[in-house]
Amino acid sequence: MLDNNEFTKETFNDIEYILKRETLEMALDAASAKKIQKSFLMPDYDEYGMGYIDRTAIFNPIKLSSEFRKKNPVFDRMVIVDGIIEGTWKRTAKAKSVVVETYLFRELSKVKSEAVKKAVNRFVKFTGTSE
Task: Please give the Cα distance from 126 to 131 (Å, whole number).
Answer: 12
pLDDT band at 99 (very low <50, low <70, confident <90, very high): very high
Residues 115-121: what's their mean pLDDT? 95
With a CB cutoff of 8 Å and minimum separation 6, the contacts of 73 are: 64, 85, 87, 88, 105
CB 11 within 8 A of CB 17: yes
Query: Do the beta carbons of residue 65 and residue 87 sit within 8 Å?
Result: no
Query: Is the separation of the CB atoms in 42 and 51 below 8 Å?
Result: no
- 42-64 pLDDT, tens per residue? 888 887 777 777 766 777 666 55
Q: What is the pLDDT of residue 131?
A: 65
Average pLDDT over residues 108-124: 94
